Chain A
Amino acid sequence: MTRDDFRRQADLVREIPLEVVLTSWGAARDPRDTSRWRTERGPLSVNGTKFFSWQARHGGGGAIDLVMHLGGWDARRAIRWLGRQLGGHLAVANPPADNQSDADPASNSRSTSSPTLHPNSHHFTRSSQGRYTMANEAQRQQMSRLLEHAVQILDIPDALYEEAVAKHEEVGNWLEDHDVLQGRRPPEIYPQGSFRLGTVIRPLTDKDEYDIDLVYLRDIKKGSTNQERLKQEAGDHLKAYVAHTEKANGDAPKLEEGRRCWTLTFNGRFHMDVLPAIPDAEGLPGSILITDCDLREWQHSNPIGYAEWFKLRMRTILLEKRAALAASLRASQEDVPDWKVKTPLQRAVQLLKRHRDLHFQNDHDDRPVSIIITILAAKAYNNQADLYDAVIALVRDMAKYIEYREGVPWVPNPVNPKENFADKWQKHPQREKKCREWLTKVEHDLIGAMSVTGIPKVVEALGRSMGKNTMTKAAELFGRELQLQRVSGGLTIAVGSGMLLAGGNIKVKDHTFFGNVEDA
């Protein structure tokens, strides 16, 4: 390698973000202070391209300095390690003849040759800064595409969604008819929670069921009923509904009473929580009062207000996406309902919930509940258009939105700040700690998936955190999409690199893969 090559290599790797280097080194981000990292050489603070080691009382700037510090190496070795380890970020590759590896920071093996510039990286010329962003941008986009397919797998299947909507209407009509028959004013029945927000995910195993939450809002005043009566009247209607369906077709749901609601279980596919409620005349629009067996006071809630708040947090991107969808369908924007559009925030929440389900599989009690994840994510969301960018930004910032009120951890209900969704954290402080650690783990897993090369390795890495089957199916969907894209003439490769999906300009002509070694 000539001196010029070496300098060019150094300029390239210097730009690698310090967070990427630290993650790749195996350092852990401090869950309480995201600018601090724990390394084997003591704690380290990162601020943009600068770092400072508290133990060594030594600081520096750029990825090369950082690796020199972490490994106690000279510049040449640091540059070589960066090229090898994080070459993918820069489209930097190793010379094929050299099989020795510095990949393991602990290894002291000395290799004689250094990485060279990727022969194809000339496609990413301009400035060393631009080179990093361009190579990385394409990788992030592809990663987002894979993750979007994963969300498609995690989402409730269309058939089940339609069945759930049909059951919702059936139960809703039953309740309404029977209220009216008894001379009561017609109630309102509407979905709440993840169904309303568009963040439902597939349960971890086929044995588990989807959750659907319905509000059964009676049009009566607080003074003219009490909690027991309201709950009992709902129960009577639902018991009659179960008896009726049993007689009609035999496929009757099971009914159970919960603390606040009645639960209908439909044949092991999903269960529907029916929450009896009355309007809260003193609250904000959408406020309701709900019953609770364990508490004498009416409980406050506002599922519509909460869903509106959630929608507001992604308004910019929602409008953009809706306009784009309307244009592609040649429909007017008003004709495209919100639920047809999925934003990166909704998808990110779905990915986070799945990661949580797997991460806390054997620690169910201490897992962060969905409403806390959703609120923190919505607060941290900044209308990122790209899914990977969105998830990374969320997990870095979500913990910042955990408040403390007189030392008590507080995740306020956005439409009722006095209500604390993290009220259990005071009694179980380990839950807050585990939530913060989990957020760091998500970031670590996603950056880790980005620092390996080759689709099989990427899918394997994501599979460990999102589920192996989910990611395998997602990769398959990705492959099928590519195939469709080529057949329709929309697949291009880049001049120089021969890279697909990188905004290239040579159209891939349609053709037919042929032959098989088995025939030989």
Chain B
Amino acid sequence: MWKTHKTLNLAVQAAHLGKRFPDAHVDIKRSQLTWRGRVTPSPLSDTYLVRVTYKIGRRPDVKVLEPALESRDGEKPPHLFPGERLCLCLPGEWDGGMVMADTTIPWIAEWLLHYEIWLATGEWCGGGVHPSITPGRKAHNDSAAELKRRRRSRPWDAQHRPR
């Protein structure tokens, strides 16, 4: 089960995370879930300490705590929000009915592996959409309403408005 029709509460998300990643640390404080775990995205990869925070009605906020993300020839990695938050999916592609342990965490691992390949090659091979450079159709259609709804609560979303 990775998706349900109704929004999952934080305790359910935490239980799934705890079951899938027993060595990571999960807690819920003041209606916010925080997951701290180490992710080694592939056998030859580095190990990253990652923090995910999540409040109902928002998108999980993902930050790599250690080691610090590196730049390549002065360029920051692609698919990052301000504050070096990982952009894992299109607005609207994730909703609170999805199990974070089966969506967010695997996407983090994949993001990190593509980040390592990007550091090595300068090419982001993981696909994806850059709102300003390639305003993909999907990004527009799926996200317009979603963005509008979220923009009120999250100031940084406004910065990602498709042009």
Contacts and interface: CB of A to CB of B under 8 A. Distances in A.
Interface of A: 88, 91, 93, 96, 118-120, 122, 135, 138-139, 141-143, 146, 450, 453-456, 458-460, 472-473, 475-476, 478-480, 482-483, 486-487, 491, 493, 495-502, 506-509, 511-520
B139 interface: yes
B116 interface: yes
Given A475-B117, A475-B121, A514-B131, A499 B42 contact: yes
A459 B20 CA distance: 31
A218 B107 CA distance: 64
B41 A500 contact: yes
B127 A513 contact: yes
A499 B39 CA distance: 7
A455 B120 contact: yes
Interface in B115-154: 116-133, 136, 138-139
Given A491-B110, A498-B109, A516 B43 contact: no
Contacts of A511: 88-90, 93-94, 103, 107
A269 to B, nearest CB: 27
Contact of A515 (B24, B81, B119, B138): B81
Contact of B41 (A88, A499, A509): A499
B55 interface: no
B96 interface: no
29 contacts: A96-B66, A118-B38, A119-B37, A453-B46, A454-B46, A455-B44, A455-B113, A472-B122, A479-B118, A479-B124, A479-B125, A482-B126, A483-B114, A493-B105, A497-B39, A498-B21, A498-B37, A498-B40, A498-B105, A500-B41, A511-B93, A512-B90, A513-B124, A513-B129, A514-B91, A515-B80, A515-B131, A518-B130, A520-B81
Nearest to B139: A514
A512 B93 contact: yes
Given A96-B66, A456-B116, A512-B89, A120 B23 contact: yes
B45 interface: yes
Contact of A508 (B66, B82, B94, B110): B110
Contact of A459 (B108, B121, B136): B121
A511 B102 CA distance: 12
B159 A513 contact: no
Interface string B56-81: 00000000001000000000101111
B38 to A, nearest CB: 5
Nearest to A140: B43
* Max chain A C-beta neighbours (<10 A), residue from B47, B82, B110, B133: B47
B10 interface: no
Given A455-B117, A512-B90, A143 B44 contact: yes
B87 A516 contact: yes
Nearest to B138: A512
B157 to A, nearest CB: 10
A135 B120 CA distance: 23
B60 to A, nearest CB: 12
A491 B20 CA distance: 17
B124 to A, nearest CB: 8
B64 to A, nearest CB: 12
Contacts, number: 211
Nearest to B118: A479
Contacts of A486: 110
Contacts of A500: 41-42, 109-110, 113
A472 B89 CA distance: 27
A513 B22 contact: no
Contacts of B132: 516, 518-519
Nearest to A123: B23
Contacts of A141: 43
Nearest to A512: B90
Contacts of B127: 483, 487, 512-513
Interface string B23-34: 110000000000
A91 B44 contact: no
Nearest to B75: A518
B39 A498 contact: yes
Contacts of B102: 506, 509
A97 to B, nearest CB: 10
The 8 A-B residue pairs with the shortest CB-CB distance, nearest first, are A479-B125, A513-B128, A515-B87, A455-B116, A119-B23, A138-B43, A454-B46, A479-B117
B106 to A, nearest CB: 4
Contact of B43 (A142, A472, A487): A142
A517 B80 contact: yes
A502 B125 CA distance: 20
A43 to B, nearest CB: 32
A520 B84 CA distance: 11
A174 to B, nearest CB: 45
Given A514-B90, A518-B76, 20 more contacts: A93-B47, A96-B49, A119-B23, A455-B116, A455-B117, A476-B125, A479-B121, A479-B123, A482-B126, A483-B126, A496-B21, A498-B41, A501-B43, A502-B43, A506-B106, A512-B93, A513-B78, A514-B160, A516-B79, A519-B159
